[in-house]
């Protein structure tokens, strides 16, 4: 129960802090934080939750992370459903609260920071680019997580490495897909946008899971020293 509550709160914070910064602060007149600020915000959510709940649940905050750790032999299969359900529910709770806040002043929610490709990509990047970047960046993200949390890694720095990695990932890929690398984050926003966001959601579920699984295989069989 403690682990699932931690995953719920942690994923809530990731979506509320990351997507909230994109929706409320990125384009604020004259002082908006822009892509750089949103990227930092996503990194800070993971960094803070890693040090808050890392000792409780591992602070996965992401179904792809949970699956990747399982493939790498670092997580038990029996706990996958409860973790993923908690992550999705936490993300949905954050998206629901953001929906209320964003629409409170009568403004339309727009794309609601949902992930997309083609005309719904910030930079109008196509499907293949979206698939490639989501799989690749999720794979690298999982390799960083696995390496930073390995028994042989320097102690006390894993949260910093993981948070900075997510910041860099967003700096790279916000123009391409609005950056997913996290199916829970994508599901939560798409549920409130509907239409095109639901139709394109499969990319942001499948490709992060695929990238994470590839990272797990690579780390377990090639890179791990433990």
d(CA 146, CA 100): 37
User: DSSP strand E in 49-161: where?
Assistant: none
The pLDDT value recorded for residue 226 is: 60
d(CA 172, CA 150): 26
Note whether 130 and 117 are within 8 A (CB).
Answer: yes
d(CA 105, CA 201): 28
- Report the percentage of the chain scoring pLDDT > 90: 85
2-223 CATH: 1.20.1080.10
What would the pLDDT profile of 133-162 be if each residue is shown by its tens digit?
999 999 999 999 999 998 888 888 999 999
What would the pLDDT profile of 180-192 be if each residue is shown by its tens digit?
999 999 999 999 9
The pLDDT value recorded for residue 133 is: 98
d(CA 14, CA 8): 10
HSE, CB side, 13 Å, CA atoms: give it for residue 140.
Answer: 14
Instruction: Say what angle helices 183-193 and 2-20 make with each other, to 10 degrees.
Output: 60
Using pLDDT thresholds of 50, 70 and 90, give the confidence band for residue 27: confident
The CA dihedral of 172, 88, 90, 104, to the nearest 10 degrees, is 70
Can you tell me the mean pLDDT for 64-68?
97
For residue 200 the two structure tokens come to: 């394109």
Mean pLDDT of the chain: 94
Can you tell me the mean pLDDT for 14-31?
91
Tell me, letter by letter, the H, E, C secondary structure of 8-64: HHHHHHHHHHHHHHHHHHCCCCCCCCHHHHHHHHHHHHHHHHHHHHHHHHCCCCCHH
d(CA 142, CA 215): 6
Note whether 164 and 140 are within 8 A (CB).
Answer: no
Residue-range domain boundaries for the chain:
2-223
Residues 6+ positions from 209 with CB-CB distance below 8 Å: 63, 64, 67, 138, 183
- Which stretch of DSSP H or E encloses residue 112? none
Integer Rg of the chain from CA = 16
Can you tell me the mean pLDDT for 158-185?
97
Length of the chain, please? Answer: 226
Can you tell me the mean pLDDT for 52-77?
95
d(CA 8, CA 91): 8
């Amino acid at each position: 129960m403690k682990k699932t509550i931690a995953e719920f709160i942690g994923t809530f914070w990731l979506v509320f802090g990351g997507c909230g910064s994109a929706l409320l602060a990125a384009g604020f007149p004259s002082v908006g934080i822009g892509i750089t600020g949103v990227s930092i915000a996503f990194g800070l959510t993971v960094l803070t939750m890693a040090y808050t709940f890392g000792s409780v649940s591992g602070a996965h905050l992401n179904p792809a992370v949970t699956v990747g750790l399982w493939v790498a032999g670092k997580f038990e299969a029996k706990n996958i459903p409860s973790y993923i359900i908690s992550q999705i529910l936490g993300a949905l709770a954050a998206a629901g609260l953001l929906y209320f806040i964003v629409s409170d002043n009568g403004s339309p929610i727009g794309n609601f920071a949902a992930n997309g490709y083609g005309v719904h990509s910030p930079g109008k990047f196509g499907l293949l680019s979206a698939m490639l970047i989501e799989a690749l960046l999720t794979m690298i993200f999982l390799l960083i997580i696995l390496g930073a949390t390995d028994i042989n890694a320097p102690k006390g720095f894993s949260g910093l490495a993981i948070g900075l990695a997510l910041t860099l990932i967003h700096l790279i890929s916000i123009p391409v897909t609005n950056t997913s690398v996290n199916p829970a984050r994508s599901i939560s926003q798409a549920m409130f946008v509907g239409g095109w966001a639901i139709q394109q959601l499969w990319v942001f579920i499948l490709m992060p899971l695929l990238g994470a699984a590839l990272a797990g295989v690579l780390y377990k069989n090639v890179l791990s020293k433990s």
